[in-house]
Amino acid sequence: MVETIFQHPILQQLILPFLLVFTLVFAILEKTKLLGDGKKQLDAIVAFVVGLIFVTAVFPKMVVGNLILFLTVSLVVMFVILLLWGFVFGEIKEGFKPAPWMKWTLGIVIGVGVIFAVIWSIGLPAGITEWLANLNWSSPFWINFSFIIVIAVALALVLAKRRSSSSS
């Protein structure tokens, strides 16, 4: 496998963590004016020292690295959810306009789909899903769950028809 410059240990373990901490500390010092107004050089020196101290410590770098990874994954998942949500609940100027119940149904389906997509993408071992499917209680549970969903959908459709006929 070819190693790129972005995979090099010097960049990953020294330069990027230093730049992150330096930038954050410098921005906080500038915004709060903790060391005085118009003291950019002093703010930069303090941020530089804090960044260098941070880079020499192993455990804080690991914590920040894990938090940044969590943040990026969370942002991507939220982007996917909001993008799909916008497709369903966005304003339609002309053409087919789905009923509110249809929008909410699609929204729930999208939510469940995103949950399953995240579980699939993290590589949930197949052994866990097989184990859950083969438990003594799993087969009756899924049968009962399916019946409850079918009954709830039927009730929702009947109640929606009654509501629309009584309001006319």
Gap between the Cα atoms of 41 and 30, Å rounded: 10
- One digit per residue, the tens of pLDDT, for the chain of length 168 reads 667 888 888 888 889 999 999 999 999 999 999 988 989 999 999 999 999 999 999 898 888 888 888 899 889 989 988 888 888 777 777 777 777 788 888 888 888 888 888 877 777 766 666 766 677 777 777 788 888 999 998 888 888 877 777 665
Handedness of CA 62, 17, 6, 58 (dihedral sign): negative
Residue 51: the pLDDT is 94
Spatial CA neighbour of 66 closest among 105, 17, 99, 112 = 17
pTM for the full predicted model: 0.57
Q: Give the pLDDT of residue 160.
A: 80
How far is it, in rounded angstroms, from Cα 149 to Cα 140? Answer: 14
Strands (E), 32-137: none
CA Rg value for the chain: 26
Is residue 71 within 8 A of residue 64, CB to CB? The reply is no
> In the prediction, which pLDDT does 128 show?
67
Residue 153 main-chain phi, psi, to 5 deg = -65, -45
